[in-house]
Structure 1
Amino acid sequence: MIKKNNVNFFQVAQGVWGMKLMFVNVFMIANRRGVRKGWVLVDTGPQGSADKIIAMAETLFGVGTRPSAIILTHAHSDHSGSLEALLKHWKVPVYAHEYELPYLTGKSSYPPADPTVGGGIMSLFSVFFRRKPLKLGNKVKAIDMAESRIPELPEWRILATPGHSPGHISLFFPLNTTLIAGDAFTTTKSESAIYLLNSIKQLSGPPMYLTPDWESAKKSVVKLAALHPRIAVTGHGPIIRGHELREALDNLAENFDELAVPTSGRYVKQAALADETGVLYVPPFKANTKFVAATIITGLLAGFIIARQIHKSVA
C-alpha cells in the first residue's frame, strides 16, 4: 500500500495503480505509446468516491490532471456510481461495451439481484443496490470490439467477458500479462461482508447475487484462464500473482460449476436475456421461507443502521 498526500492506493504493475473505495477497486493506467499519451481510469467506484479518485490522480499525475478517457468494465452501481460526478469535473469520453449502453443511457434497468444465493450479508443487501440506469446520452461511446481496444489505450486488449452483466469487459496487457478482470471473477468472497470489506484473498467466481447468466460467466472465466496472466486484479479483493494466480484461476475454470455457481437461485436454471437494447427477459423469482426470514432480519438491521446514522447526525 502506498500513502501520499493522505491518499491510499496500491501499485498493480508498472504504469498501473489501484485504489479500494469501500469494497470496490478502481484502476488508473498510464498509456505508454500512441499519439494520445496520458492515462485512463477504469471504473469509478460507488457514489461519493469522486473526490478520492481525483486526489489519487493528482498525486500520481500532477495537479489539474485528467484522464484521456474513462472505461467501464460494466455499469453496476458500485462501478459507475461516481461517473456523473467525475464528468462534471473532467470532460472526457466514456467507453463501455455496446451491451452496457442501455444501462448508461436511460434505456433499461439491470435484471434484479438474487438475494437468495451465496449465503452472506452482501447477498441480502443486494436488493438495495441501484438498478436504474444512468442517463449519459452521447457522453458514452461503444467500444469497437472488432478492434478490441480504444484509441486512448492502444496496447491493452479489451475482451468481452459477459455473464456478470450483458456487456461486461476485461482488460489485458500482453507485454507483462496483466489482467484487470472487473467482476468476471473476484479475488475475495463477494457475498461475505467480512471478506469483502477486509479484502481477504480467495479467488472466486463473479458476485453471485448480481450474476444473471451463469453459462456465459463460465465461458468468460475459461477465456481469461487461457490467457495465463501473471498479475490479476478484480473489482473486489486484493492483487493475486504468479503461481498462486495460475493455480487458482485454472482450478476455477475447470471446476466453475462446483465452485462458483449457486446450487439454486433465480438465474441458475434459466438466464436473463439481454441485447444492445437492454433486458429482454427475466426468469420469475421464487421466494422460500428461509429467504423471507432473512429478509426480515436484513430489514431490521438496515433500520438499525439508518437509525444510528440519524442519531449521529443529530447529536
Structure 2
Amino acid sequence: MRTLPLAANAYLLDTPQGSLLVDTGIPWESRKLLRLLALTQPAAVLLTHHHLDHVGGAWVLWQKYRMPVYAHPLDIPYISGIRRRPPFPPVPWLGDRIANSAAPVPEEAITPVEEGSDVMGWKVVHLPGHTAGQIGLLKDRVLIAADALRVGAKGPHVPIPMVNADTAQAKRTVGKIAGFEVREIYVGHGPKTTLEAVIDLARRLGVIARSAS
C-alpha cells in the first residue's frame, strides 16, 4: 500500500488485477495527483465518499484513463452532480460553490458497490455517518476507514459535527469498526491507528460496552 500525500490521504493498493486508487484529493491537486501516478496507471478508482477533498481528481482521472470508478449508491448522486453537496463552509453562496467545485463524474461511469462487495480482492464495508454512503475497504486485517475516523495527536476521534451528515450515526460506526478483526486502520486525515485505540474511543463514546474486549 502506498499513501499519496494529498489534502486527504489517498491510497494506492497493489492487486493481482492492477493498482486500485482509493480517493483522489481536491480538484486543484489534480496535477499533483497525476505526477504522483506518473509511473502507475490505476486500473480502477474507489471513492470512499462524496466530499470535495476525496473526489476532486476523479473526473480528471476518468477522462484520462476511462477506468472503472466505484462508489456507494447513496453518494453517487453527489459525485455525479445530480444532487448538490451541502455548503461547506456553511456560508451562503461561497460554501455551496466550494463544496460543489469538483467536476462531476458521469453517473454511467460509476459502478455502485455496497457492504460485502468485492473490489479487486478488497471487501467493501459501509461506514455511514460522515456521509450516508461512506465506505471503506477491508483485507488481511487492514482497514481503510476514510473519514469514519480522524487521527490526531491524541489518537482517533470522530469528525466534528459540522462536517458530518449524521454524527450520531458516525459514532455508531466507530462501534462497528471496533468489532472488526483488524491490525491496522488507515484514515483520510492523519496517520494510521490501531484497533485498540478505536475500541477505547468506542467505549468513551458509549457505542460498545466498557467491559468489551
Q: Same fold (TM over 0.5)?
A: yes
Show the counterpart of 2:149.
185
In structure 2, C-alpha distance between the alignment counterparts of 1:139 and 1:179, rounded to whole Å: 26
TM-superposition CA deviations, 1:208-266 (whole Å, max 9, x none): 321021222122111111114211111101123xxxx23320121122269xxxxxxxx
- Which whole-Å deviations, capped at 9, do the CAs of 1:69-124 have from their partners, x for residues lacking one? 10000010010111112222221011100101110222212234576xxxxxxxxx
Match of 1:38 among 12, 15, 18: 18
Structure 1 CA distance for aligned equivalents of residues 105 and 15 of structure 2 = 28
- Greater radius of gyration (CA): 1
Aligned equivalent of 2:2: 17
- Residue 269 of structure 1 corresponds to none
Match of 1:209, SS state, is helix
1:164 aligns with 2:130: yes
Moved over 6 A (4+): 125-128
SS of alignment partner, residue 203 of structure 1: strand
- 1:175-229 CA deviation, whole Å, 9 max, x = no partner? 2x111100011112xxxxxxxxxxx563111243210212221221111111142
Higher mean C-alpha deviation, range 46-55 or range 128-137: 128-137
Cα distance per residue 1:136-194 (max 9 Å; x no partner): 23111111x264222xx12x111011110010001111x2x111100011112xxxxxx
1:53 Cα shift? 2.4
Structure 1 residue 127, shift from structure 2 partner = 7.3
**Partners of 1:182 and 1:234 within 8 A in 2:** yes
1:109 aligned residue: 84
**Shift in alpha-carbon separation, 1:207–1:94, aligned structure 2, 3 A:** farther
Q: What TM-score comes out, normalization by structure 1 length?
A: 0.59
TM normalised by structure 2 equals 0.85
Partner of 1:220: 173
CA-based RMSD: 2.6
- Decide whether aligned partners of structure 1 residues 20 and 201 sit closer, same or farther in structure 2, where only a CA change above 3 A counts: farther
How far the C-alpha of 1:50 sits from its partner, in A, is 2.4
Identity within the alignment, %: 30
More helix per residue: 1 or 2?
A: 1
What is residue 211 of structure 2 aligned with on the other side? none
Does 2:206 match 1:206? no
Residue 30 of structure 1 aligns with an amino acid whose one-letter code is D
Paired residues of 1:71 and 1:95 also in contact (CA < 8 A): yes
Gaps of at least 5 residues in structure 1 are 1-15, 116-124, 189-199, 259-315
Number of paired residues?
Answer: 204
Secondary structure of the corresponding residue to residue 54 of structure 1: helix
SS in 2 for 1:206: coil
- Where does structure 2 lack aligned partners over 5 or more consecutive residues? 208-213
The 5-angstrom pairing of residues 1-315 of structure 1 reads 16-21=1-6, 23-32=7-16, 37-58=17-38, 62=39, 65-113=40-88, 129-131=98-100, 134-143=104-113, 145=114, 147-150=116-119, 153-154=120-121, 156-173=122-139, 175=140, 177-188=141-152, 200=153, 202-240=155-193, 245-256=194-205
The offset of 1:126, in angstroms, is 7.0
Aligned residue type for 1:148: S
State how far apart, in whole Å, the 2-side matches of 1:69 and 1:257 are.
38
Return the letter of the residue paired with 1:247: E
d(CA) in 2 for partners of 1:109 and 1:140? 17
Q: Distance in 1 between matches of 2:29 and 2:147?
A: 19
Q: Is the 8 A contact 1:111 1:212 kept in 2?
A: no
